[in-house]
């Protein structure tokens, strides 16, 4: 069981001044109403950056420029094992629209820790809030 390969996921860190875009999972989803960074599962044989561009087009209706990888983690939930690769998103075209989430918010960096994030994201959230990443 523990030898299983993690589900590969990409996520983007969008910054607007001192605010970071965060997204709340739909109430009906697994881990509903918890906050996360936009992104999703990488398809078979899909490039990581291409995956993130596709996911953010689907979720937010924007065409992004994918920046550097800023963080990578593996986390085992009771029902799944994930590897999440986070990229900075230095620029995008289009208007950010909520197409799939319960809600989205531009949260001040220093207040990120006030949101109930997915367990896997919490170390990254703390590091962003402290100004260590992006």
pLDDT reading at 21 higher than 90 = yes
The string of pLDDT tens digits covering residues 50-102 is 999 999 999 999 999 999 999 999 999 999 999 999 999 999 999 999 999 99
Q: Any idea what the Cα angle at residue 54 is, between residues 51 and 57, rounded to 5°?
A: 145
| Second-level CATH architecture of 7-129 | Alpha-Beta Complex (3.90)
pLDDT of residue 4: 85
pLDDT of residue 73: 97
pLDDT of residue 52: 98
Pairing verdict, β 19-24 and 103-108? antiparallel
134 versus 33: which is more confidently predicted? 33
State the Cα–Cα distance between residues 17 and 8, nearest whole angstrom.
Answer: 29
Query: Residue ranges per domain, the chain?
Result: 7-129
Q: Express the helix, strand and coil content of the chain in percent, nearest 5 each.
A: 20, 40, 40
Q: What is the mean pLDDT of the chain?
A: 96
């Amino acid at each position: 069981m523990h030898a299983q390969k993690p589900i590969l996921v990409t996520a983007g860190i969008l910054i607007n001044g001192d605010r970071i875009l965060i997204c709340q999972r739909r109430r009906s989803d697994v881990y509903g109403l918890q906050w996360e960074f936009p992104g999703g599962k990488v398809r078979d044989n899909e490039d990581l950056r291409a995956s993130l561009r596709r996911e953010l087009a689907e979720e937010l209706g924007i065409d992004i420029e994918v920046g550097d990888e800023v963080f990578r983690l593996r986390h085992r939930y009771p029902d799944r094992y994930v590897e999440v690769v986070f990229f900075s998103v230095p620029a995008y075209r289009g208007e950010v629209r909520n197409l799939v989430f319960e809600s989205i918010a531009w949260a001040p960096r220093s207040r990120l820790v006030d949101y109930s994030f997915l367990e896997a994201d919490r170390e990254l959230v703390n590091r962003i809030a402290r100004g260590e990443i992006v």
